[in-house]
Structure 1
Amino acid sequence: MDRFEGDIAVLLKKGEESVQKNVPREHFTENVSEGDIVQEITIDSTVAYRPLKQETQKRKQKAEDLLNKIKNKKN
């Protein structure tokens, strides 16, 4: 999930970040934040999105580790 523009979430496709999808906030099963990884699911013939909390945490940790590695290399 890249960002919110009002009540619309702007999603970017993994690996193809130039591909955007606008999704109304009410289509999410839980609260989401910028940077969260979400999965498209179908509930009673309705498309919805749910956050993948574990996957999001792993990606954030990987980014933080990389940033720390870069910072430590400069010293």
Structure 2
Amino acid sequence: MNFNNYTLDRFEGDYAIFLKRPEEIDQLLIHRTEIDVPVKEGDIVQITDDGEKYTFKVLKEDTKNKKASIEKMIDELKNKNKI
């Protein structure tokens, strides 16, 4: 059994495109019907692959922290441009 953390980048048609953390370069495509928990773009998810099916766990605290970090960077960029 193997697990990794991913960010849900987007949905394309019937597939969810996850990017492997932390680099977020490698992609994992999973059919929507295989996802057994509610997920939305930007969520950080632990995905376990037992060879037969995927198991998903949304990492709510990690997702919240990442979103806060991104919002802080955006605010800093906006304030930098005001100078």
TM range (shorter): 0.7 to 0.9
Shift of 1:59: 0.4
Cα deviation for residue 72 of structure 1 reads: 1.1
CA RMSD between the two structures: 1.9
List alignment gaps of at least 5 residues for structure 1. Answer: none
Q: Which of 11, 20, 24 pairs up with 1:17?
A: 24
2:35 maps to 1:28: yes
Greater RCO, CA 8 A, separation 6+: 2
Whether 1:73 and 2:65 are equivalent positions in the alignment is no
Provide the C-alpha distance between the structure 1 equivalents of 2:61 and 2:23, rounded to a whole number of angstroms.
22
What is the Cα deviation at residue 28 of structure 1?
2.3
TM-score by length of 2: 0.74
Task: Percent identity, please.
Answer: 38
Which blocks of at least 5 consecutive residues in structure 2 are unaligned?
1-7
How many Å separate the matches in 2 of 1:50 and 1:29?
A: 9
How far apart, CA to CA, are the structure 1 residues paired with 2:27 and 2:58?
Answer: 17
**For the residues of structure 2 that align with 1:55 and 1:27, how far apart are their CA atoms?**
23
Question: Number of aligned pairs?
Answer: 74
Q: Report how far residue 32 of structure 1 moved.
A: 0.9
1:69 alignment partner AA: E
Q: What letter matches 1:31 in structure 2?
A: P
